[in-house]
A = this chain, B = another copy of it.
């Protein structure tokens, strides 16, 4: 099918490492579908990959991008439930920053009614991450308290809305007054500006404990996170922005009968990703269609402005998702 434009980072580094290159349009392998990309979400993991800190799994494309939306161009052998022309969004192991991407059919879902094809470009990674970590691994229950670090991020804004939709009290940390206001409007019950307040002290002062914590900080927050966990609480670490190694007090963990989990979506095998997507779509799509949950889009950039788009995430000044459009 000829050539397409795609973004790679052949030499790791800053935003200038990003290159728009020509690549052959992929062929859908058996079980895959080929998507013409309309929009692709930018994730913090893409920044790490660009910097050389998060290589794609073996066998994956070096084109960046963990989620996209678009329409199906063709389907590989054995794909019967998706047809060319369908408007879909997809969870990718890579390859979203491109005009075309091929992806296992189990990681593809029809765009939910009520939002646009562009808006759904940043939906799959975010919704699958929140669903798999907060609900499937963390097993958040109605009436429990969810603590989300980075409440104004794409993942944060989805976690706030899903936490509230499923009856939890939601506490978030953010880095500015503007983000705090936005999170409150989205439904967060308690918002803590970590630049001004110690989240653990604030929670203790308010008599709050977290049953589930969705954490992107890692080492720097480990002790504080455990200190605010409730009995039988679950700390789910999905990012290590605050470092990798920290002292763990197993006595404190045991006294709370608590668990520390760390996970990533990208490295999971195709079957697990499909199971997550399937469970997530069943629970989340109806909430999008009825307006309870909406994807929060900070800004969209054309493919040629991919360096600008990365710059926005790097500065952490965004609220919600940053998208590339094609």
Contact = CB atoms under 8 A, between A and B. Distances in A.
A177 interface: no
A192 to B, nearest CB: 22
B248 A254 contact: no
A245 B244 contact: no
21 contacts: A218-B250, A218-B251, A222-B250, A237-B253, A237-B254, A238-B254, A240-B251, A240-B254, A244-B250, A244-B251, A245-B247, A245-B250, A246-B250, A248-B248, A253-B262, A254-B262, A254-B263, A257-B264, A259-B261, A259-B262, A260-B261
A260 B259 contact: yes
A259 B261 CA distance: 4
Interface string A211-229: 0000000110010000000
A214 to B, nearest CB: 14
Interface of A is mostly: mixed
A248 B263 contact: no
Interface in A233-275: 237-238, 240, 244-251, 253-255, 257-264, 267-268
B240 A244 contact: no
A292 to B, nearest CB: 30
Nearest to A218: B250
A258 to B, nearest CB: 7
B247 A257 contact: no
Nearest to A231: B267
A: interface residue count bin: 20 to 34
Residue among A254, A258, A267 having the largest count of chain B Cβ atoms under 10 Å: A254
A250 B237 contact: yes
A244 B262 CA distance: 20
Contacts of A253: 237, 260-262
A128 to B, nearest CB: 14
Contacts of A258: 261-262
Contact of A268 (B248, B257, B264): B257
Interface in A290-317: none
Given A237-B253, A237-B254, A254-B237, A260 B248 contact: yes
Contacts of A263: 254, 257
A259 B257 contact: no
